[in-house]
A and B are shown apart, each in its own frame.
Chain A
Amino acid sequence: MDKRKIWVVCDAFDHVDSFTGQLISKAYQLSKESNGSVQAVFIGNASDDELKRCALYGADEVVYQQCETKDEKVWLDILSDIYSSIGADIIMFTNTDFSKTLSSLFASRFEVGLTADCIDICFEEENGFVFERAAMSDSVQARIICINSQCCTCTVKKNAFVETEINAPKELNIRKWEYTGSFIADPAYEIINSVKRVCENNTDLDNAKIVFGVGRGVKDRETFDMICQAGKKYNAVVVGTKCVVDDGLLPKKLQVGQSGCSIAPDLYIAFGISGANQHLVGIRNSRQIIAVNNNENAPIFNIADVKIVADVKEFMKEFAE
Protein backbone atom coordinates (compact mmCIF):
# COMPACT_ATOMS: atom_id res chain seq x y z
CA MET A 1 0.00 0.00 0.00
CA ASP A 2 1.12 3.53 -0.66
CA LYS A 3 2.36 5.44 2.31
CA ARG A 4 -0.16 7.75 3.95
CA LYS A 5 0.52 11.35 3.07
CA ILE A 6 0.78 13.57 6.10
CA TRP A 7 0.91 17.26 5.27
CA VAL A 8 1.99 20.15 7.40
CA VAL A 9 1.13 23.56 5.97
CA CYS A 10 3.90 25.99 6.98
CA ASP A 11 2.65 29.56 7.40
CA ALA A 12 5.62 31.53 8.71
CA PHE A 13 6.33 32.75 5.15
CA ASP A 14 10.13 33.14 5.25
CA HIS A 15 11.33 30.70 7.88
CA VAL A 16 10.49 27.54 9.77
CA ASP A 17 9.22 28.80 13.11
CA SER A 18 8.82 26.80 16.27
CA PHE A 19 5.04 26.37 15.80
CA THR A 20 5.74 24.72 12.43
CA GLY A 21 8.45 22.63 14.12
CA GLN A 22 5.88 21.39 16.63
CA LEU A 23 3.54 20.31 13.82
CA ILE A 24 6.24 18.54 11.85
CA SER A 25 7.39 16.75 15.01
CA LYS A 26 3.87 15.47 15.59
CA ALA A 27 3.51 14.56 11.91
CA TYR A 28 6.71 12.54 12.17
CA GLN A 29 5.36 10.64 15.14
CA LEU A 30 2.08 9.99 13.27
CA SER A 31 4.03 8.79 10.24
CA LYS A 32 5.62 6.09 12.35
CA GLU A 33 2.28 5.01 13.79
CA SER A 34 0.46 5.00 10.47
CA ASN A 35 3.09 4.05 7.91
CA GLY A 36 3.11 7.50 6.43
CA SER A 37 5.44 10.08 5.00
CA VAL A 38 5.68 13.70 6.09
CA GLN A 39 5.37 16.45 3.55
CA ALA A 40 5.86 20.05 4.59
CA VAL A 41 4.01 22.34 2.22
CA PHE A 42 5.84 25.64 2.26
CA ILE A 43 4.38 28.69 0.52
CA GLY A 44 6.32 31.92 0.78
CA ASN A 45 9.84 33.04 0.35
CA ALA A 46 12.64 31.01 1.96
CA SER A 47 16.10 29.75 1.06
CA ASP A 48 16.87 26.07 0.52
CA ASP A 49 18.91 26.07 3.72
CA GLU A 50 15.92 27.29 5.66
CA LEU A 51 13.62 24.74 4.00
CA LYS A 52 16.07 21.96 4.90
CA ARG A 53 15.39 22.66 8.56
CA CYS A 54 12.09 20.81 8.10
CA ALA A 55 14.14 17.61 8.00
CA LEU A 56 15.39 18.23 11.53
CA TYR A 57 11.90 17.52 12.82
CA GLY A 58 11.30 14.55 10.55
CA ALA A 59 9.93 15.81 7.23
CA ASP A 60 10.58 13.56 4.22
CA GLU A 61 9.83 16.16 1.62
CA VAL A 62 9.18 19.86 1.27
CA VAL A 63 6.81 21.01 -1.43
CA TYR A 64 7.85 24.61 -1.97
CA GLN A 65 5.99 27.28 -3.86
CA GLN A 66 7.71 30.63 -4.11
CA CYS A 67 5.17 33.38 -3.44
CA GLU A 68 5.62 37.04 -2.59
CA THR A 69 2.26 37.68 -0.98
CA LYS A 70 0.69 36.34 2.14
CA ASP A 71 -2.95 36.36 1.18
CA GLU A 72 -5.40 33.64 2.16
CA LYS A 73 -7.11 33.50 -1.23
CA VAL A 74 -3.88 33.27 -3.18
CA TRP A 75 -2.58 30.58 -0.84
CA LEU A 76 -5.88 28.72 -1.09
CA ASP A 77 -5.53 28.51 -4.87
CA ILE A 78 -1.92 27.33 -4.59
CA LEU A 79 -2.77 24.77 -1.93
CA SER A 80 -5.72 23.53 -3.99
CA ASP A 81 -3.44 23.13 -6.97
CA ILE A 82 -0.93 21.04 -5.01
CA TYR A 83 -3.66 19.02 -3.30
CA SER A 84 -5.49 18.24 -6.51
CA SER A 85 -2.29 17.04 -8.05
CA ILE A 86 -0.62 14.96 -5.32
CA GLY A 87 -3.32 14.48 -2.67
CA ALA A 88 -3.05 14.07 1.07
CA ASP A 89 -4.55 11.87 3.76
CA ILE A 90 -4.25 14.35 6.58
CA ILE A 91 -3.44 18.05 6.55
CA MET A 92 -2.27 19.87 9.66
CA PHE A 93 -2.49 23.66 9.92
CA THR A 94 -1.40 25.94 12.76
CA ASN A 95 -4.22 27.86 14.41
CA THR A 96 -2.95 31.35 13.68
CA ASP A 97 -5.67 33.68 12.34
CA PHE A 98 -4.24 33.30 8.87
CA SER A 99 -4.24 29.51 8.89
CA LYS A 100 -7.64 29.30 10.55
CA THR A 101 -9.05 31.18 7.60
CA LEU A 102 -6.98 29.25 5.06
CA SER A 103 -8.01 25.87 6.48
CA SER A 104 -11.70 26.83 6.59
CA LEU A 105 -11.65 28.02 2.98
CA PHE A 106 -9.87 24.82 1.98
CA ALA A 107 -12.23 22.50 3.89
CA SER A 108 -15.22 24.27 2.38
CA ARG A 109 -13.86 24.12 -1.16
CA PHE A 110 -13.11 20.37 -1.01
CA GLU A 111 -15.86 19.52 1.48
CA VAL A 112 -13.53 17.69 3.81
CA GLY A 113 -13.68 17.34 7.58
CA LEU A 114 -11.97 20.03 9.64
CA THR A 115 -11.41 19.92 13.40
CA ALA A 116 -10.48 23.19 15.11
CA ASP A 117 -7.83 23.72 17.76
CA CYS A 118 -6.76 20.13 18.33
CA ILE A 119 -4.66 19.35 21.33
CA ASP A 120 -3.86 15.82 20.28
CA ILE A 121 -3.96 13.59 17.21
CA CYS A 122 -3.44 9.86 17.07
CA PHE A 123 -3.72 7.07 14.56
CA GLU A 124 -5.79 3.96 15.22
CA GLU A 125 -6.24 1.03 12.85
CA GLU A 126 -10.02 0.98 13.20
CA ASN A 127 -10.69 4.74 13.24
CA GLY A 128 -7.86 6.20 11.20
CA PHE A 129 -6.74 9.62 12.37
CA VAL A 130 -8.46 10.73 15.57
CA PHE A 131 -8.47 14.38 16.66
CA GLU A 132 -8.92 15.53 20.22
CA ARG A 133 -10.36 18.85 21.30
CA ALA A 134 -12.43 20.15 24.21
CA ALA A 135 -16.00 18.96 24.09
CA MET A 136 -18.63 21.66 23.97
CA SER A 137 -19.53 22.25 27.54
CA ASP A 138 -18.34 19.15 29.22
CA SER A 139 -15.56 18.22 31.51
CA VAL A 140 -14.06 15.88 28.94
CA GLN A 141 -12.29 15.89 25.59
CA ALA A 142 -14.12 14.93 22.42
CA ARG A 143 -12.46 12.43 20.08
CA ILE A 144 -13.35 13.28 16.51
CA ILE A 145 -12.88 11.41 13.25
CA CYS A 146 -13.58 12.37 9.65
CA ILE A 147 -16.31 10.54 7.78
CA ASN A 148 -17.24 10.54 4.08
CA SER A 149 -14.26 12.75 3.61
CA GLN A 150 -11.46 12.42 1.09
CA CYS A 151 -8.95 13.72 3.58
CA CYS A 152 -8.83 14.88 7.20
CA THR A 153 -7.85 18.42 8.08
CA CYS A 154 -7.26 20.16 11.38
CA THR A 155 -5.86 23.23 13.02
CA VAL A 156 -3.58 22.62 15.97
CA LYS A 157 -3.10 24.66 19.09
CA LYS A 158 0.27 26.18 19.74
CA ASN A 159 2.35 24.23 22.26
CA ALA A 160 0.03 21.23 22.09
CA PHE A 161 3.03 19.34 20.73
CA VAL A 162 6.69 19.55 21.53
CA GLU A 163 9.20 20.58 18.89
CA THR A 164 11.63 17.67 18.79
CA GLU A 165 14.72 17.27 16.65
CA ILE A 166 15.14 13.71 15.44
CA ASN A 167 18.38 11.77 15.81
CA ALA A 168 19.17 10.97 12.24
CA PRO A 169 17.48 13.43 9.86
CA LYS A 170 16.67 11.91 6.49
CA GLU A 171 17.84 13.21 3.16
CA LEU A 172 15.25 15.88 2.40
CA ASN A 173 13.73 16.17 -1.00
CA ILE A 174 12.79 19.75 -1.97
CA ARG A 175 10.13 19.74 -4.62
CA LYS A 176 9.79 23.14 -6.25
CA TRP A 177 6.20 23.67 -7.28
CA GLU A 178 5.42 25.69 -10.33
CA TYR A 179 2.05 27.23 -9.81
CA THR A 180 0.76 28.81 -12.97
CA GLY A 181 -2.25 30.66 -11.57
CA SER A 182 -2.45 34.24 -10.41
CA PHE A 183 -0.49 35.61 -7.46
CA ILE A 184 -2.50 38.78 -7.30
CA ALA A 185 -4.77 39.28 -4.34
CA ASP A 186 -8.31 40.37 -5.11
CA PRO A 187 -8.46 44.13 -4.49
CA ALA A 188 -12.08 44.19 -3.35
CA TYR A 189 -11.21 46.70 -0.72
CA GLU A 190 -9.36 49.90 -0.12
CA ILE A 191 -7.58 50.87 3.10
CA ILE A 192 -8.77 54.23 4.36
CA ASN A 193 -6.71 54.39 7.48
CA SER A 194 -4.31 52.13 9.32
CA VAL A 195 -2.93 52.49 12.81
CA LYS A 196 -0.25 50.31 14.39
CA ARG A 197 -1.29 48.99 17.73
CA VAL A 198 1.23 49.23 20.48
CA CYS A 199 1.58 45.99 22.34
CA GLU A 200 1.64 47.04 25.94
CA ASN A 201 1.92 43.41 26.81
CA ASN A 202 4.96 42.01 25.18
CA THR A 203 5.25 39.07 27.49
CA ASP A 204 6.90 35.91 26.28
CA LEU A 205 4.37 33.39 27.49
CA ASP A 206 5.84 30.51 25.49
CA ASN A 207 9.11 30.59 27.34
CA ALA A 208 7.89 31.66 30.76
CA LYS A 209 9.26 29.54 33.59
CA ILE A 210 6.76 30.70 36.17
CA VAL A 211 3.13 31.57 35.43
CA PHE A 212 0.43 32.88 37.77
CA GLY A 213 -3.14 32.13 36.77
CA VAL A 214 -6.03 34.32 37.88
CA GLY A 215 -9.58 33.01 38.11
CA ARG A 216 -12.94 34.39 39.16
CA GLY A 217 -12.06 33.66 42.77
CA VAL A 218 -9.92 36.79 42.56
CA LYS A 219 -12.77 39.12 43.28
CA ASP A 220 -11.35 42.60 43.56
CA ARG A 221 -8.83 44.84 41.92
CA GLU A 222 -6.71 44.95 45.07
CA THR A 223 -6.13 41.19 45.08
CA PHE A 224 -5.48 41.22 41.35
CA ASP A 225 -2.90 43.99 41.76
CA MET A 226 -1.18 42.07 44.54
CA ILE A 227 -0.87 39.06 42.23
CA CYS A 228 0.59 41.25 39.46
CA GLN A 229 3.05 42.78 41.94
CA ALA A 230 4.16 39.34 43.09
CA GLY A 231 4.39 38.34 39.42
CA LYS A 232 6.89 41.12 38.84
CA LYS A 233 8.91 40.13 41.87
CA TYR A 234 9.20 36.47 40.84
CA ASN A 235 9.43 37.11 37.14
CA ALA A 236 6.15 35.35 36.50
CA VAL A 237 3.69 36.03 33.68
CA VAL A 238 0.12 36.62 34.86
CA VAL A 239 -2.59 34.88 32.80
CA GLY A 240 -6.27 34.24 33.34
CA THR A 241 -9.24 31.98 32.76
CA LYS A 242 -11.80 32.78 30.08
CA CYS A 243 -14.14 34.31 32.66
CA VAL A 244 -11.49 36.76 33.78
CA VAL A 245 -10.64 37.69 30.20
CA ASP A 246 -14.32 38.10 29.29
CA ASP A 247 -14.62 40.44 32.26
CA GLY A 248 -11.87 42.53 30.70
CA LEU A 249 -9.31 42.11 33.48
CA LEU A 250 -6.72 40.65 31.11
CA PRO A 251 -6.29 40.77 27.32
CA LYS A 252 -7.44 37.81 25.22
CA LYS A 253 -3.93 36.72 24.40
CA LEU A 254 -3.33 36.01 28.06
CA GLN A 255 -6.25 33.58 28.23
CA VAL A 256 -5.13 30.04 28.91
CA GLY A 257 -7.18 27.01 27.93
CA GLN A 258 -9.12 25.52 25.06
CA SER A 259 -10.00 28.81 23.41
CA GLY A 260 -6.86 30.55 24.60
CA CYS A 261 -3.26 29.39 24.64
CA SER A 262 -1.50 26.39 26.09
CA ILE A 263 1.47 26.80 28.36
CA ALA A 264 4.17 24.54 29.78
CA PRO A 265 6.02 26.42 32.54
CA ASP A 266 8.07 24.85 35.32
CA LEU A 267 5.63 26.21 37.85
CA TYR A 268 2.00 27.28 37.55
CA ILE A 269 0.14 28.81 40.46
CA ALA A 270 -3.66 28.91 40.10
CA PHE A 271 -5.36 31.59 42.19
CA GLY A 272 -9.13 31.19 42.59
CA ILE A 273 -9.50 28.93 39.55
CA SER A 274 -12.11 26.18 39.67
CA GLY A 275 -10.35 23.85 37.27
CA ALA A 276 -12.81 23.45 34.40
CA ASN A 277 -11.53 21.04 31.79
CA GLN A 278 -11.37 23.84 29.21
CA HIS A 279 -8.82 25.56 31.41
CA LEU A 280 -6.93 22.42 32.43
CA VAL A 281 -6.12 21.42 28.86
CA GLY A 282 -4.07 24.60 28.63
CA ILE A 283 -2.00 23.97 31.74
CA ARG A 284 -1.67 20.21 31.82
CA ASN A 285 1.92 20.30 30.57
CA SER A 286 3.07 22.46 33.47
CA ARG A 287 5.78 20.70 35.44
CA GLN A 288 4.42 21.65 38.84
CA ILE A 289 1.02 23.07 39.77
CA ILE A 290 0.11 24.85 42.97
CA ALA A 291 -3.55 25.72 43.52
CA VAL A 292 -5.02 28.21 45.96
CA ASN A 293 -8.77 27.91 46.35
CA ASN A 294 -11.19 28.29 49.25
CA ASN A 295 -13.24 25.29 48.22
CA GLU A 296 -11.42 22.14 49.27
CA ASN A 297 -13.33 20.15 46.66
CA ALA A 298 -12.47 22.39 43.71
CA PRO A 299 -11.54 20.19 40.69
CA ILE A 300 -8.29 22.13 40.23
CA PHE A 301 -6.91 20.22 43.22
CA ASN A 302 -7.18 16.98 41.25
CA ILE A 303 -4.29 17.97 39.08
CA ALA A 304 -2.39 20.09 41.57
CA ASP A 305 0.86 18.94 43.12
CA VAL A 306 0.42 21.33 46.00
CA LYS A 307 -3.01 22.02 47.47
CA ILE A 308 -3.67 25.15 49.48
CA VAL A 309 -7.15 25.68 50.84
CA ALA A 310 -7.36 29.40 51.53
CA ASP A 311 -9.07 32.63 50.68
CA VAL A 312 -7.02 34.20 47.88
CA LYS A 313 -7.16 37.67 49.32
CA GLU A 314 -5.98 36.58 52.76
CA PHE A 315 -3.34 34.43 51.15
CA MET A 316 -2.05 37.26 48.97
CA LYS A 317 -1.80 39.61 51.91
CA GLU A 318 0.62 37.22 53.58
CA PHE A 319 2.31 36.31 50.34
CA ALA A 320 2.98 39.94 49.48
CA GLU A 321 4.67 40.52 52.83
Chain B
Amino acid sequence: MIKIVVCLKMVPGKLINAEAGGLIINPYDLFVLEKLAELKKSSDISVIGICMGGESARDGLIRSKALVCDDIYWLNDIKFAQADTIATTKTLTAAIKKYIPDADAVICGGHAIDGETGQVPAELSEKLGITYFSSVADIESFGNDSAVIVRRDERQEMTVRCRYPFLLSVDSFLTYASNLNVIALKRAQKWEYKIISAEELGIASTDCGASGSKTKVINSVNIIYKKESIEIGGSIKEKADHVKKLLQQ
Protein backbone atom coordinates (compact mmCIF):
# COMPACT_ATOMS: atom_id res chain seq x y z
CA MET B 1 0.00 0.00 0.00
CA ILE B 2 1.38 3.37 -1.07
CA LYS B 3 0.96 6.05 1.58
CA ILE B 4 0.16 9.50 0.29
CA VAL B 5 -0.04 12.66 2.37
CA VAL B 6 -2.02 15.58 0.97
CA CYS B 7 -1.55 19.03 2.48
CA LEU B 8 -4.85 20.86 2.61
CA LYS B 9 -5.49 24.54 3.02
CA MET B 10 -8.85 26.18 3.43
CA VAL B 11 -9.24 29.59 1.80
CA PRO B 12 -12.02 32.22 1.76
CA GLY B 13 -14.80 31.10 -0.60
CA LYS B 14 -15.35 34.64 -1.79
CA LEU B 15 -12.11 34.47 -3.77
CA ILE B 16 -13.86 32.08 -6.15
CA ASN B 17 -17.39 33.29 -5.91
CA ALA B 18 -18.18 36.81 -4.75
CA GLU B 19 -21.30 35.63 -2.93
CA ALA B 20 -19.76 32.67 -1.12
CA GLY B 21 -19.05 32.91 2.58
CA GLY B 22 -16.87 30.74 4.78
CA LEU B 23 -13.88 28.67 3.77
CA ILE B 24 -13.47 26.25 0.91
CA ILE B 25 -10.75 23.79 -0.09
CA ASN B 26 -8.01 25.62 -1.99
CA PRO B 27 -8.75 24.82 -5.67
CA TYR B 28 -5.26 23.41 -6.32
CA ASP B 29 -5.63 21.06 -3.34
CA LEU B 30 -9.09 20.08 -4.54
CA PHE B 31 -7.62 19.07 -7.87
CA VAL B 32 -5.20 16.77 -6.03
CA LEU B 33 -8.00 15.20 -4.00
CA GLU B 34 -10.10 14.55 -7.07
CA LYS B 35 -7.15 13.10 -8.93
CA LEU B 36 -6.38 10.76 -6.04
CA ALA B 37 -10.02 9.73 -5.80
CA GLU B 38 -9.87 8.71 -9.43
CA LEU B 39 -6.55 6.86 -9.06
CA LYS B 40 -7.68 5.12 -5.90
CA LYS B 41 -10.17 3.11 -7.92
CA SER B 42 -7.38 1.31 -9.71
CA SER B 43 -4.39 1.45 -7.37
CA ASP B 44 -3.56 0.41 -3.87
CA ILE B 45 -3.10 3.77 -2.18
CA SER B 46 -4.06 5.25 1.13
CA VAL B 47 -4.61 9.00 1.34
CA ILE B 48 -3.97 10.96 4.49
CA GLY B 49 -5.03 14.60 4.68
CA ILE B 50 -3.19 17.06 6.85
CA CYS B 51 -4.53 20.51 7.48
CA MET B 52 -3.50 23.41 9.65
CA GLY B 53 -6.55 25.50 10.41
CA GLY B 54 -9.16 26.51 12.95
CA GLU B 55 -12.75 25.40 13.43
CA SER B 56 -13.82 27.04 10.17
CA ALA B 57 -11.83 24.39 8.29
CA ARG B 58 -14.26 21.65 9.38
CA ASP B 59 -16.53 21.82 6.38
CA GLY B 60 -13.65 21.51 3.94
CA LEU B 61 -12.27 18.58 5.90
CA ILE B 62 -15.58 16.77 5.78
CA ARG B 63 -15.56 17.16 2.01
CA SER B 64 -11.97 15.95 1.80
CA LYS B 65 -12.85 12.93 3.87
CA ALA B 66 -15.91 12.16 1.77
CA LEU B 67 -13.93 12.54 -1.43
CA VAL B 68 -10.94 10.35 -0.77
CA CYS B 69 -9.13 10.70 2.56
CA ASP B 70 -8.73 7.58 4.68
CA ASP B 71 -7.47 9.61 7.57
CA ILE B 72 -7.10 13.27 8.46
CA TYR B 73 -4.81 15.09 10.87
CA TRP B 74 -6.22 18.44 11.83
CA LEU B 75 -3.61 20.75 13.31
CA ASN B 76 -5.92 23.05 15.14
CA ASP B 77 -4.55 25.29 17.85
CA ILE B 78 -4.55 29.04 18.28
CA LYS B 79 -0.77 28.72 18.69
CA PHE B 80 -0.56 27.82 14.98
CA ALA B 81 -2.32 31.00 13.90
CA GLN B 82 -0.68 33.65 11.75
CA ALA B 83 2.13 31.43 10.64
CA ASP B 84 4.27 32.55 7.72
CA THR B 85 5.61 29.95 5.29
CA ILE B 86 8.56 28.98 7.50
CA ALA B 87 6.40 28.41 10.59
CA THR B 88 3.82 26.55 8.48
CA THR B 89 6.55 24.36 7.04
CA LYS B 90 7.92 23.51 10.46
CA THR B 91 4.49 22.62 11.80
CA LEU B 92 3.60 20.41 8.83
CA THR B 93 7.04 18.79 8.98
CA ALA B 94 6.61 17.97 12.66
CA ALA B 95 3.21 16.39 11.98
CA ILE B 96 4.38 14.32 9.02
CA LYS B 97 7.46 13.11 10.89
CA LYS B 98 5.42 12.20 13.94
CA TYR B 99 2.30 10.65 12.43
CA ILE B 100 3.20 9.54 8.93
CA PRO B 101 6.98 9.02 8.95
CA ASP B 102 6.67 6.29 6.33
CA ALA B 103 4.84 8.44 3.75
CA ASP B 104 5.80 7.54 0.19
CA ALA B 105 4.57 10.76 -1.32
CA VAL B 106 3.59 14.19 -0.06
CA ILE B 107 1.43 16.23 -2.41
CA CYS B 108 0.67 19.94 -2.19
CA GLY B 109 -1.32 22.32 -4.35
CA GLY B 110 1.13 24.65 -6.12
CA HIS B 111 -0.15 27.60 -4.21
CA ALA B 112 -3.03 28.77 -2.11
CA ILE B 113 -5.23 31.33 -3.78
CA ASP B 114 -5.30 33.56 -0.71
CA GLY B 115 -1.59 34.02 -0.12
CA GLU B 116 -0.28 33.16 -3.57
CA THR B 117 3.31 32.74 -2.34
CA GLY B 118 3.73 29.15 -3.59
CA GLN B 119 6.68 28.70 -1.22
CA VAL B 120 5.49 26.01 1.17
CA PRO B 121 5.88 22.95 -1.10
CA ALA B 122 9.59 23.51 -1.78
CA GLU B 123 10.24 24.55 1.81
CA LEU B 124 8.53 21.41 3.07
CA SER B 125 10.53 19.14 0.76
CA GLU B 126 13.75 20.64 2.11
CA LYS B 127 12.75 20.11 5.75
CA LEU B 128 11.58 16.55 5.04
CA GLY B 129 14.70 15.88 3.00
CA ILE B 130 12.85 14.39 0.03
CA THR B 131 13.01 15.06 -3.71
CA TYR B 132 10.97 17.98 -4.95
CA PHE B 133 9.03 18.14 -8.20
CA SER B 134 7.49 21.47 -9.14
CA SER B 135 5.12 22.38 -11.98
CA VAL B 136 3.27 19.07 -11.84
CA ALA B 137 0.30 19.17 -14.21
CA ASP B 138 -1.00 15.66 -13.72
CA ILE B 139 -0.48 12.40 -11.85
CA GLU B 140 -0.82 9.29 -13.98
CA SER B 141 -0.21 6.31 -11.74
CA PHE B 142 1.29 5.00 -8.52
CA GLY B 143 3.50 1.92 -8.77
CA ASN B 144 5.33 -0.05 -6.11
CA ASP B 145 8.51 1.97 -5.93
CA SER B 146 7.74 4.95 -8.15
CA ALA B 147 4.96 7.06 -9.60
CA VAL B 148 4.43 8.52 -13.06
CA ILE B 149 3.66 12.21 -13.23
CA VAL B 150 3.45 14.91 -15.91
CA ARG B 151 5.42 18.12 -15.46
CA ARG B 152 4.68 21.10 -17.59
CA ASP B 153 6.31 24.48 -18.01
CA GLU B 154 6.26 27.01 -20.79
CA ARG B 155 8.73 25.19 -22.95
CA GLN B 156 7.95 21.54 -22.53
CA GLU B 157 5.80 18.81 -21.15
CA MET B 158 7.56 15.82 -19.61
CA THR B 159 6.27 12.51 -18.42
CA VAL B 160 8.51 11.44 -15.57
CA ARG B 161 8.86 8.34 -13.41
CA CYS B 162 9.92 9.37 -9.91
CA ARG B 163 11.06 7.22 -7.05
CA TYR B 164 9.52 7.46 -3.59
CA PRO B 165 9.73 9.34 -1.36
CA PHE B 166 9.03 12.68 -3.02
CA LEU B 167 6.99 15.84 -2.76
CA LEU B 168 4.89 17.19 -5.61
CA SER B 169 3.71 20.74 -6.15
CA VAL B 170 0.68 20.53 -8.41
CA ASP B 171 -0.18 23.48 -10.63
CA SER B 172 -3.58 22.45 -11.93
CA PHE B 173 -6.83 23.44 -10.36
CA LEU B 174 -10.55 23.03 -10.53
CA THR B 175 -12.95 25.76 -9.66
CA TYR B 176 -16.15 23.81 -9.73
CA ALA B 177 -17.53 21.97 -6.74
CA SER B 178 -17.01 18.26 -7.07
CA ASN B 179 -19.80 15.78 -7.25
CA LEU B 180 -19.92 14.26 -3.84
CA ASN B 181 -21.58 11.02 -2.98
CA VAL B 182 -24.29 11.85 -0.42
CA ILE B 183 -23.71 8.72 1.61
CA ALA B 184 -19.98 9.37 1.72
CA LEU B 185 -20.67 12.91 2.83
CA LYS B 186 -23.00 11.74 5.62
CA ARG B 187 -20.43 9.26 6.82
CA ALA B 188 -17.74 11.93 6.71
CA GLN B 189 -19.88 14.23 8.81
CA LYS B 190 -20.12 11.62 11.53
CA TRP B 191 -16.46 10.74 11.46
CA GLU B 192 -14.42 11.88 14.43
CA TYR B 193 -11.79 14.37 13.37
CA LYS B 194 -8.62 14.18 15.42
CA ILE B 195 -7.70 17.63 16.59
CA ILE B 196 -4.02 18.00 17.25
CA SER B 197 -2.70 20.76 19.47
CA ALA B 198 0.78 22.23 19.54
CA GLU B 199 1.43 20.43 22.79
CA GLU B 200 0.35 17.09 21.45
CA LEU B 201 2.43 17.61 18.35
CA GLY B 202 5.37 18.41 20.58
CA ILE B 203 6.29 21.59 18.78
CA ALA B 204 7.61 24.57 20.75
CA SER B 205 5.46 27.67 20.50
CA THR B 206 8.53 29.51 19.25
CA ASP B 207 8.55 27.22 16.22
CA CYS B 208 4.99 27.73 15.06
CA GLY B 209 2.38 30.41 14.49
CA ALA B 210 3.24 34.08 14.72
CA SER B 211 6.15 33.48 17.14
CA GLY B 212 7.74 30.92 14.83
CA SER B 213 7.44 33.19 11.83
CA LYS B 214 10.39 34.88 10.21
CA THR B 215 8.36 37.56 8.52
CA LYS B 216 5.81 39.96 9.86
CA VAL B 217 3.43 42.40 8.24
CA ILE B 218 4.09 45.75 9.90
CA ASN B 219 1.39 47.74 8.17
CA SER B 220 -0.28 48.24 4.85
CA VAL B 221 -0.15 51.20 2.58
CA ASN B 222 -1.82 52.37 -0.51
CA ILE B 223 0.76 52.68 -3.22
CA ILE B 224 -1.65 53.46 -5.95
CA TYR B 225 -1.78 57.19 -6.32
CA LYS B 226 -4.95 58.80 -7.46
CA LYS B 227 -4.69 60.68 -10.72
CA GLU B 228 -6.70 63.57 -12.03
CA SER B 229 -8.58 62.06 -14.92
CA ILE B 230 -10.27 63.73 -17.84
CA GLU B 231 -13.71 62.35 -18.53
CA ILE B 232 -14.66 62.08 -22.17
CA GLY B 233 -18.34 62.81 -22.65
CA GLY B 234 -20.57 62.83 -25.66
CA SER B 235 -21.89 60.03 -27.78
CA ILE B 236 -20.32 56.57 -27.98
CA LYS B 237 -18.95 57.53 -31.36
CA GLU B 238 -17.26 60.64 -29.97
CA LYS B 239 -15.75 58.60 -27.16
CA ALA B 240 -14.41 55.98 -29.56
CA ASP B 241 -13.02 58.63 -31.87
CA HIS B 242 -11.21 60.26 -28.99
CA VAL B 243 -9.44 57.02 -28.09
CA LYS B 244 -8.58 56.39 -31.73
CA LYS B 245 -6.96 59.80 -31.89
CA LEU B 246 -4.90 59.08 -28.76
CA LEU B 247 -3.77 55.79 -30.29
CA GLN B 248 -2.59 57.44 -33.43
CA GLN B 249 -0.31 59.81 -31.54
Q: Which residues of A contact B (CB under 8 A)?
A: 72, 76, 97, 100-101, 103-105, 107-109, 111-117, 119-120, 127, 130, 132, 134-149, 186, 188-197, 199, 210, 234, 246, 253, 258-259, 267, 269, 277, 280-281, 284, 288-290, 292, 301-310, 314-315, 317-319, 321
B215 near A319: Cβ-Cβ < 8 Å = no
Chain B nearest CB from A286 CB (Å) reads: 11
Give the distance in Å from the alpha carbon of A119 to the alpha carbon of B221 in the complex: 13
**Chain B residues with CB under 8 A of A116:** 116-119
Of B42-50, B60-68, B195-203, B224-232, the one touching chain A: B224-232
**Chain A residues with CB under 8 A of B125:** 105
**Chain B residues with CB under 8 A of A234:** 247
A303 near B236: Cβ-Cβ < 8 Å = no
Chain B nearest CB from A258 CB (Å) reads: 7
**Chain A residues with CB under 8 A of B152:** 197
B222 near A140: Cβ-Cβ < 8 Å = yes
Task: Give the residue name and chain of the B residue nearest to A317 (CB).
Answer: B236
A193 near B218: Cβ-Cβ < 8 Å = no
A-B contact pairs, 15 of them (CB 8 A): A76-B126, A104-B123, A112-B86, A113-B84, A114-B119, A134-B116, A136-B115, A142-B219, A142-B220, A143-B217, A189-B161, A196-B156, A292-B243, A303-B226, A303-B227
B15 at the interface (CB under 8 A from A): yes
B131 near A188: Cβ-Cβ < 8 Å = yes
Of B2-10, B97-105, B132-140, B180-188, the one touching chain A: B132-140
Q: Among the interface residues B125, B166, B217, which one has the most CB atoms of the partner chain A within 10 A?
A: B217
B236 near A191: Cβ-Cβ < 8 Å = no
B190 at the interface (CB under 8 A from A): no
Task: Give the residue name and chain of the A residue nearest to B155 (CB).
Answer: A197
Give the distance in Å from the alpha carbon of A280 to the alpha carbon of B240 in the complex: 24
B215 near A269: Cβ-Cβ < 8 Å = no
Give the distance in Å from the alpha carbon of A210 to the alpha carbon of B249 in the complex: 11
B41 at the interface (CB under 8 A from A): no
Residue in B121, B135, B148, B214 whose CB lies within 8 Å of A147: B214
B230 near A305: Cβ-Cβ < 8 Å = yes
Interface size for B (C-beta < 8 A) is 71
A105-B126, A319-B240 are known; give 5 further A-B pairs, CB within 8 A.
A144-B215, A189-B162, A288-B246, A305-B230, A318-B237
Task: Give the residue name and chain of the A residue nearest to B84 (CB).
Answer: A113
Task: Give the residue name and chain of the B residue nearest to A318 (CB).
Answer: B240
B244 near A148: Cβ-Cβ < 8 Å = no
Chain B nearest CB from A281 CB (Å) reads: 7
Task: Give the residue name and chain of the B residue nearest to A154 (CB).
Answer: B215
Task: Give the residue name and chain of the A residue nearest to B227 (CB).
Answer: A303
Give the distance in Å from the alpha carbon of A269 to the alpha carbon of B122 in the complex: 38
Residue in B160, B224, B231 whose CB lies within 8 Å of A281: B224
Given contacts A284-B224, A319-B244, contact A307 B229 (CB under 8 A): yes
A269 near B243: Cβ-Cβ < 8 Å = yes
B26 at the interface (CB under 8 A from A): no
A290 near B135: Cβ-Cβ < 8 Å = no
**Chain A residues with CB under 8 A of B158:** 191, 193-195
Give the distance in Å from the alpha carbon of A255 to the alpha carbon of B133 in the complex: 24
Q: Among the interface residues A134, A143, A253, A267, which one has the most CB atoms of the partner chain B within 10 A?
A: A143
Give the distance in Å from the alpha carbon of A281 to the alpha carbon of B225 in the complex: 11
